[in-house]
Chain A
């Protein structure tokens, strides 16, 4: 067999399954009712999201201006107060969290999928634990972080690095699980081909498996970051301040984040602050939407069918 034969051997992508659209497929009343129930379930999510969006947009409309990120938080001038420190702090947090979860999460997934012997009890225990950790409430990670990172052995204080570490711990199980799914979706024929051509296991993972699992890993990681960006509870627990008028200059600086700032403004008596908190919710949703669009873009750009 020559090299060209090998390439030609690549299987053709399967025909996409035709969607069961049109009433022609629903022959009995039961089938029609089922279809309506499905639509109803979808509508619950979409309607709530639409109502939330409409509400924060109408509430915060008059304060959706550039002062939001040009000005710092203010107690004295609510009408022109902004949240520059919170927006910059949230971006710092997200970059820090991403830098931690990507290598750690992906490499852990590679170990579990490519190296671990599933017959060994300790590997099964690790897998079970990771799945359980994904369901632990975020405030528990806050308490853990307070004891280990903010105080205790590391004693960092409530700084950017501490916040990023805690959020990373919080979403790491999700990253590992989704990265494993992505790695598992790479067909074994590719691995076998690589190994058959004399590649080592390291070369196979690095040059064949990982490049082909980028879409799944990127999507999973960005969705995990989307969860982290809205977290207030662990940050409240470690004592992130609500009134900060300076941007962090390093990971060892104190900071504040958007969810904390939103919560703080929303609980003030003055109407101006409540409007401002709605405007900041729109900002947070916009950042979320950008991140999710990036996930969709990366998935579509790198996706291949086997």
Chain B
């Protein structure tokens, strides 16, 4: 770790060490310089003293001689002379060779020999002059006054000293000056070294300073960048984000969306309670605070209380910039912000889910309304009210019947098929009626229902659950009828009935027949013209008219779908491009015959056989044994269709099945006259009510089907 630290801060450590070393160097140098300066100053002082001593020697010598002459006491002056001479001698020797001398304060001290050329010369010259003088002084001091040697020495000294006194003074002056110069030079040099060291230290200091400043600036820049990034995030994030401390006070940083959601205010330092004051009632606020306290309690498991969040969907009215109020849906999320294993803050995320909620509501509404479209509405306007109402009533009753069929208890798997077949008949009828009335959305709903039935019929091993889609489709059909009825009632309430078509109309509905035929023809790329001769319609019993109308519609549909060929085929067969369908009512002895004739391809017996085999209605042997008449009659059996693809116009055969059942119900009989490639006529006889009984006794050549 230490090595790591050293490695990371290597530059800093080296710089600081350098700084300390340089500082210590300067300090040592200072001590050295000041000791040197003190030494030099002593030298200079001592040299100065020599100058003074040379003069004092001379003065004392002359004074001594005068005292001797006048016979006064010489004791004091003699001692003075002695001291001066000895001190001068001692100090000069010390300057010359290095050695002990006595300082100004009288203490013994060591002196280094002076070593510059000028100093040496001054000292050497002084030694020469002083040497002979000093010898005479030695003689003088070694004897008492009055002794010959003493007087001789004195006699010799007076002229000697007088002569050399000034020389010696000058030499000592030179020495002093020289020593002063040396001291000056030395201190200058030392000062320069000191200055250099200080400069280095300062340089080093700046180095460190810049290094640190640089580093500081860099880390500041990183911090600033991080801060800006945080700001950027807080500014752009769509959620309202802020932290709550343990006192539930909002932190200093929060995302810009907080202002978008709650209004332009400063929220830092505001309590959470204050923020929600206007949108959450007091009792709920307490719950919210309790919940946040749970989150702050580390004993409680965060993951196990998420479902208790009381603010997961909050409907609020918030003031808008324009001064009004706006209803918003807010979703708050609370998360623990954990630092060093402690829950420090609660991170609050606020989402404006208003759009989401309204989208969801719209979607729900749209889902509910799928049954009715504008197009369907437009079509409804053209339908006459009474037929429509009659249709709706009948259809409703039919659907109830379907539900009853579904409800019937199942005892064997055959019952499932039975349910399907019975339902088929009913739904197909509704589809036919809706198609004739031109109510496309009911037609397509019924068609979808038939598709479901077909799928079920093909399924092996039917089970109750398989019927669920059917049940739901039935529910949808019910609702569609209700919706249609509602729309109609709204529409008709504001309208007086224009044409009151009664159920007991005196003719077939030509318009409906034509519309049905031309629409099917159009869908299948065929051309067709329908001629209706229904002069005899009024003679049909009232209660049978609806059935006749339905049957004619079904037979016309059958003629166009199965009989009429596409124009190209017709033309190549020598026919006109447009097929002709003729509906005619003919009076016969036993009743009224209703014929639907087409000049199309007729019924292809081989295809009928194939189909019956495919559908598993009969075995190949059974079919082989059947007469052509019997084959033709197969088209009236349940579940038969000769069209390969099912579309809403035909191809399921159940329509013919209904026609047959209805006709049989009133004891009518069906006759088929077929010429393959040329034409086909399907007709049925409506017996006269009065002669019903005898009719059944009469023998006809009609198909007994």
Q: Do A and B bind each other?
A: no
